[in-house]
Amino acid sequence: MTQFERSVPFWLRAYPRRWRAVRSAEVTDVLADLAAPGARRLHARAARGLVRGGWATRWREHPSFWPWLGYCLVQRRLPAEFDDWVRDERTGLLTGLRTSAVPFAGFVLLAAGVEGGLRHLGWVTWSFTTTPGIWWMWCAMALYLAVARAFRRRDWLEDYFPTAADAPGHFGPYTPLHGAGTSESAASGASTDGSDA
């Protein structure tokens, strides 16, 4: 691989992971063919175009705000059309940071609103949302959650996409409604009745 071909994947990171897995090699070959002879790195204009196109692709494939917020806050399932986006989101290196940042920001805003109301009523005179010690504690909690989720990326993906054994509609081993003894006695009674008839 030439130095030019090694420089292209850096700019292709602007595209979603699933897009890169399918088209990265093809785009690299095309850019290498279009590059000036002896070029060692991607031209600035081409790099800018890749970044712009990558972010536009991410924006088009991203869920709209309210479904995305429900997914981030309460793990609400997204429509099936976003399954590929969910797979990328849950297996990405920054997934823990992303999934911790939104609830953390919501908690901070809620706490600030509660404090403002209490201070307005005169029930508290000290600040518990702007105290440096409290902020450090909140940041430590958010960082801990981010790291914990980053190490559980695969498990977190399986929680959203259950295996066939866990999916609705899976049929396990047959379990009779009545005990084996009851079934056998009923069967023998039926055969006896049949023979008498």
Rounded-to-integer distance, Cα 8 and Cα 191, Å: 78
Same domain, 84 and 114: yes
Give the domain extent around 81: 64-163
Same domain, 19 and 77: no
Q: Would 186 be classed as within a structural domain?
A: no
DSSP string for residues in 92-103: STTHHHHHHHHH
Mean pLDDT of the residues in the chain: 77
Give pLDDT, residue 96: 67
Reported pTM: 0.58
Amino acid (one-letter) located at 77 = R
Same domain, 49 and 127: no
Same domain, 75 and 55: no
Q: Which of 143, 19, 24, 129 is nearest to 84 (CA)?
A: 19
Give pLDDT, residue 27: 92
Enter the tokens of residue 53. Answer: 């196109």
Give pLDDT, residue 51: 94
Q: Which of 68, 108, 59 is nearest to 86 (CA)?
A: 68
At residue 9, does pLDDT exceed 70? yes
Give pLDDT, residue 195: 47
Same domain, 84 and 127: yes
Enter the tokens of residue 56. Answer: 């536009």
Higher pLDDT, 30 or 151: 30
At residue 164, does pLDDT exceed 50? no
At residue 77, does pLDDT exceed 60? yes
Split at pLDDT 50, 70, 90, the class of 171 is low
Q: Would 197 be classed as within a structural domain?
A: no
Same domain, 38 and 79: no
Residue range 46-58: mean pLDDT, rounded: 93
Enter the tokens of residue 21. Answer: 């897995």
Highest average pLDDT, of 3-17, 95-109, 167-181, comes from 3-17
